[in-house]
Structure 1
Amino acid sequence: MKSINLTLLLQLLLLVTSSQLFAQDDEIERPAEVNLTKSEAYPVVDASSKMYFRVAENQVLAVKQVKTGFIFQKFEGEQLNIKNTITEPFEFKKTNFKGIYNIDSKLVLMYSIYEKSQKTTSYYAQTINSENGGFSSTPKLLLTIEKDITSFNFDISADRKILAISYRYRPSIKDDSKNTDVFGVHVFDGALNELWKSDLTMPQTESMMDNLDFSIDSEGNAYFLIRKFKEELNRSNRQDTDNQSIAFLISNGDKALNEVEFSLGNNLVSTVVMKENPQGDIICAGYYRKPKSNGIDGAFVSVLDSKGNISEPKFYEFSLDFIKKYQNISERAKKKMEKAEENDILSLRNLIMRDVRVLSDGSIVLAGEIFYVTTYTDSKGNTHTTYHYDDVIVVKINPDGELGWMEKCYKRSIFESFRLMTTDKNTYILFSDYVSNASMTADGRSTSSSKGVYVTAHKFDNNTAERKYLPLFNLDKIDGIKVYQYALNRVVGLSDNSFAIELYIKKKSDMMFKVTFEE
């Protein structure tokens, strides 16, 4: 029998029941800059998974997986009313479903088939009809792998016109000091024609490097981001910044990897991602920590231009006041934090990068989250795991590389992360929250008597950092209609400043709700 995570179950029940207990007939007035519309009701589809995609302005395609295949539902118009429903058979027993991706304005279903007799895995793509649903093409074979692999990834360029498939071959030598990783890379254009393929061998053994990220640009160049060591890590040199550096490894199909190396100086890299900007430069953005630190001390950005030149990293450190913000802590704890700052070891723990956006003027928005996992073992010996999604950290960097602003969104959740939306004017952080948190002060206290759990957006002006707390809709009632089955992964972006979400309204019916932020 599977063990039940009692902590998770109790907290989820608390979240649901609290929204039901405190939901009022008079819902909180929706802010003037938020417009909400709803579709007509339509029959619900019982499915094991539901995916939602924007296919054009005010058009959404839902793809719902059932036992016999996929059901496609098309929604369109200002209210996103349902247009049609199409069912397509699909043999799941013979395939491994890999997901649906937006490539060159087309939705493409990816899956693999393992041939046991030949010990090969073949990967296929099938284009979806975005106008009406269903499939618009027969399956297309992309590649066949004849060796054992340990990882497999799809990456799409910033302009969505280049697809890269990468995988790591299982090492023949288990000793990290002797094994050198080999990655297979296949690059395709928007029509899924192969541009190049190559097996790329890393320049150092596993014990002398870490793989941090992989990306593909709009020209079809592949990028590995690695951390290099001069000497193998041990207890004495683990915090030695002179022993570590970061490097881009770049390939356009040649066996050789062009290397561009840089350093974070007296800092150590933590989580990091790559992102292409409109000029074709590769932005390397992440978090850093100081050698004595137990967490994250700030954010950094470095830019690799199209000519292969790397800029000096710029650092954006978290201050004591920023780290303390929204924490209700004792005077004793404050003194300990102040002492830690004096000793240069004050930091934000468990912070990881979630998303990076590049705005049209060259500004960069970094969004991260305090994420950690706790476990406990009950009296019967069952181990229970809880995932914590806490404060969201947003850093806005101006086009000249200077800090625009950094802000924190107070959040405590064990069931959802957040959604980042950006326009040229504003940045929106979307998640469900107790509306009482709208009045939370910097010292972690709330004076609001408002009740209930609402899907909310923290709106930040990109230029001034002015914040607005926008309650969007109650988790169990929208404009007097009882709603159910909210989940953040049901949110589909319609534009930079609008999104839609499908919710169950009982009587075996669903309804599509559309939220637009008036800029």
Structure 2
Amino acid sequence: MKSRFILFFLFLSFIAQAQVKISVGQPYGVIDAQNKFYFNRGSEILTVKLRKREVIIQKLNSEKLAFEKISVYRDFPEGFNLEHIVEFSDRYYIFYSLWDRKAEMEQLFYREIDFDKGTLKPDEKLLVQVHGKVSGDLISRGWYSFSVVNKFDLEFSKNDDKLLVHYRLKPQIKNDSKSYDVIGMHVFGKNLERVWDEEVTMPYTEKKMNNLDYSVDSQGNAYILTTVYNDETTNEKKRNDNQANYHIELLRMSGKNNKIVITPVTVGSKFINKVYLFEVSDSYMICAGFYSNLPYRNAADGIFSFKLTKEGDLVDSRNYEIPLEVLNMYISEKAQRRNEKKEEKDKAEFEDLELRELFIDENGGVLLVGEQYYIQAHTYYNSNGSSRTYYTYHYNDLLVTKINESGQLEWMKKLPKRQTGTSGRGSMSYKHMAADGSHYFLFLDNERNLELTPDRFPAVYRDGAEGFLTAYKVSDKSGSVDKVSITSTRDVLGLPVYQFQTSRILPIDKNSFVVEVYKKKKQDVLIRVDLGK
């Protein structure tokens, strides 16, 4: 599920010379779980942790840095699959799917969490019922045991009072050139009351189109942003008169008679990478993402954005090239020379760039955050001729771009980092926060990068190793950057900590946050960071 509208938390307000106060709480029993989710209201913290069929809810306190209570539930039905745990309209829900084999129906249920009590409300409620199977991701549950997960996706409106649940029915025809996708669209109000629902047949075959993003507005209209090929070849590299072999269309649905309003969007010769679609106001939607001048989907030459009215009219469309001086920061001299040669042919790109987040501020300005991410396969051979393959995951530089409400480029910044591991994301990537007119990007860094300059290549932080919790502070107005090192994981007031993940950081007040970490001996502990003003 993509990130929601930006929340300007008034916390984490500090500069490079600010004093940082760190407090460590009393340890409490660890919960080993495949999935962990964290929510807070002021000093109250709610955690939801899933371990097989168990759902464990904990209440913690960020002022006392203490464990308060725990509730364990083992009454979820056999065969259930977790879909989402979310906050929606100031309430908290666990969504899970369950396949009814006898009736051949896919079902989406939810149970509400009572935040104040730290408990689950007793009754499960059926939200969506689908005749037939829903497409998802096939995962292994063990020896010859498989399950389909991630069947239902959720999108939220700007003011958090509309929820879109969407899914794709498993196709009856296996030939993509003859099969038309059927997308289930269910819109609900802030109390999960039904607004409308339809199973919408797409206007083109599966081969002809590729859905990029979904959204819902405050009036309950649902949107699909899709690429549509201009011919039957589906060749992304093909050009016609120097134009890309596909175009973008916005599909709008209001739940009235399965009607789809289609708006074509012209991108000329640009090859579009991943994009996000958001509601800006009661009148406009905005779409933004990366484009390439070459047909490689994970590289970017620049940023594009366009506005559309709720009626589907294209209002404004703009492109912003990534400057060579940005591409050449924090890379080797050899790589710089290679970029300079490519730039002569208009082929210098930001490689392996993924669009991670898109935020809209209260004035309609846009902040795009891209992260350089790729996976490498490594195969080696034994003397007996057998082979083994393992994978490394790389989370590197950030590209942060600010576009103001008038569509003008305010600034574009490259924030260097190098993170590598062998077990997925782990402690890598970053956490974004915003406060007092600045953006903060927190991540674990190698201590050798404390004094990194633009002409130096960053040292690598390795997942699971000791690291420094580090922040880039970026001014929303000017794009000026300060770098701050907060604490080392090997010595937090004399305590070495483990499983430090930036995704677990929770804001408490305008200058503080807490994070749950593992301290060994089967114990977790809360760390609170109070940042000087």
Shorter-chain TM-score above 0.5: yes
- Give per-residue Cα distances to partners, 1:458-477, cap 9 Å, x unaligned: 11111122211111221222
Structure-to-structure mapping, 1:386-405, within 5 angstroms? 386-405=392-411
Does 2:266 match 1:281?
no
Describe the SS at the equivalent of 1:478.
coil
8 A Cα contact 1:359 1:424, kept in partner:
no
Asked if 1:56 is matched to 2:56, the reply is: no
1:436 Cα deviation after fit: 2.3
The answer to whether structure 1 residue 432 and structure 2 residue 444 are counterparts is yes
Paired with 2:369 and 2:237, the residues of 1 have a C-alpha distance of 31
Residues 140 and 321 of structure 1: CA distance in aligned 2, closer, same or farther (over 3 Å) = same
Shift of 1:402: 1.1
The aligned residue for residue 461 of structure 1 is 475
Tell me which amino acid in the other structure corresponds to 1:85.
I
Label 1:261 to 1:324 Cα distance change in 2 as closer, same or farther (>3 A): same
Contact 1:239–1:292 under 8 Å retained in 2? no
Q: CA deviation at 1:499?
A: 3.5
User: Partner of 1:300 in structure 2?
Assistant: 304
1:423 paired residue number: 435
Structure 1 residues 72 and 237, CA gap change in structure 2 (3 angstroms)? closer
Secondary structure at 2:40's aligned position in 1?
strand
What are structure 2's unaligned runs of at least 5 residues?
Answer: 1-14, 137-150, 422-427, 460-464
Paired-residue identity, %: 28
User: Contact (CA 8 Å) 1:161, 1:189: kept in 2 or not?
Assistant: yes
What are the ranges of 5 or more consecutive residues in structure 1 without an aligned counterpart? 1-29
Residues 1:346 and 1:374: Cα distance change in structure 2 (over 3 Å): same
* Counterpart among 313, 337, 342 of residue 317 in structure 2: 313
1:465-500 CA-partner distances (Å, limit 9, x unpaired):
221111122122212222222123323345687542
Establish whether residue 471 from structure 1 lines up as the match of residue 502 from structure 2: no
Contact 1:278 1:360 in 2 (8 A): no
1:77 Cα deviation from its structure 2 partner: 4.9
**1:249 to partner: Cα distance:** 0.4
For residues 56-205 of structure 1, the aligned pairs below 5 Å read 56-66=41-51, 69-91=54-76, 93-151=78-136, 152=151, 153-205=153-205
How far, CA to CA, are the matches of 2:25 and 2:357 in structure 1? 34
Q: CA offsets, 1:290-317, max 9 Å, x none?
A: 1477831011111223343323321121
What CA deviation, in whole Å up to 9, does each residue of 1:36-57 have, x standing for no partner? 4435314223322352333322
Amino acid at match of 1:47: D
SS in 2 for 1:149: coil
RMSD: 2.6
SS in 2 for 1:414: strand
How far has the Cα of 1:329 moved from its partner? Answer: 2.2
- The one-letter code sitting in structure 2 at the alignment partner of 1:419 is K
The one-letter amino acid paired with 1:431 is F
What's the counterpart of residue 496 of structure 2?
A: 482
Distance, in Å, in 2 between the alignment partners of 1:514 and 1:107 is: 24
Shift of 1:85: 2.4
Task: Identify if the C-alpha distance between structure 1 residues 111 and 336 changes in structure 2 by more than 3 Å, giving closer, same or farther.
Answer: closer
Say if 2:381 is the partner of 1:383.
no
Q: CA, structure 1 residues 478+250, in 2 after alignment: closer, same or farther (shift >3 Å)? A: same
C-alpha contact 1:58 1:80 (8 A) present in aligned 2: no
TM-score by length of 2: 0.84
1:236, CA displacement in angstroms?
9.3
Q: Deviations over 1:82-107 (max 9, x none)?
A: 33322333336332122311111111
- 1:205-284 correspondence to structure 2 within 5 Å: 205-233=205-233, 238-240=238-240, 241=243, 243-254=245-256, 255-279=258-282, 281-284=284-287
Distance 1:236 1:41, change over 3 A: closer
Q: Which structure shows the higher helix fraction?
A: 1
Alpha-carbon distance between aligned partners in 2 of 1:445 and 1:115, rounded to the nearest angstrom: 54
Separation of aligned partners in 2, 1:119 and 1:163 = 26
Q: How does 1:285-364 map to 2 (within 5 A)?
A: 285-291=288-294, 295-330=299-334, 333-364=335-366
Q: Distance in 2 between matches of 1:288 and 1:498?
A: 38
TM superposition shift of 1:252: 1.3
How many Å apart are 1:67 and its aligned residue?
Answer: 5.3
Structure 1 position 242, deviation (Å): 5.5
Q: CA deviation at 1:334?
A: 3.7
Q: Which amino acid aligns with 1:466?
A: S
C-alpha distance in 1, partners of 2:452/2:198? 54
TM-aligned CA deviation for residue 272 of structure 1? 0.7
User: CA, structure 1 residues 397+284, in 2 after alignment: closer, same or farther (shift >3 Å)?
Assistant: same
Measured after TM superposition, the shift of residue 112 of structure 1 is 1.8
Which segment drifts farther, 189-198 or 73-82? 73-82
Counterpart code for 1:505 = K
**TM-score using structure 1 length:** 0.87
Secondary structure in 2 matching 1:336: helix
- Say if 1:42 and 1:358 are closer, same or farther in 2 by CA, change over 3 A: same
Partners of 2:236 and 2:245 within 8 A in 1: no
Q: 1:265 deviation in Å?
A: 2.3
Task: Assess if the C-alpha contact under 8 Å between 1:50 and 1:62 holds in 2.
Answer: no
1:502 is matched with 516
Deviation of 1:289 (Å): 0.8
The Cα offsets for residues 362-403 of structure 1, whole Å up to 9 and x where unpaired, read as: 221110111111112221322212221111111111222111
Secondary structure of the structure 2 residue equivalent to 1:365: strand
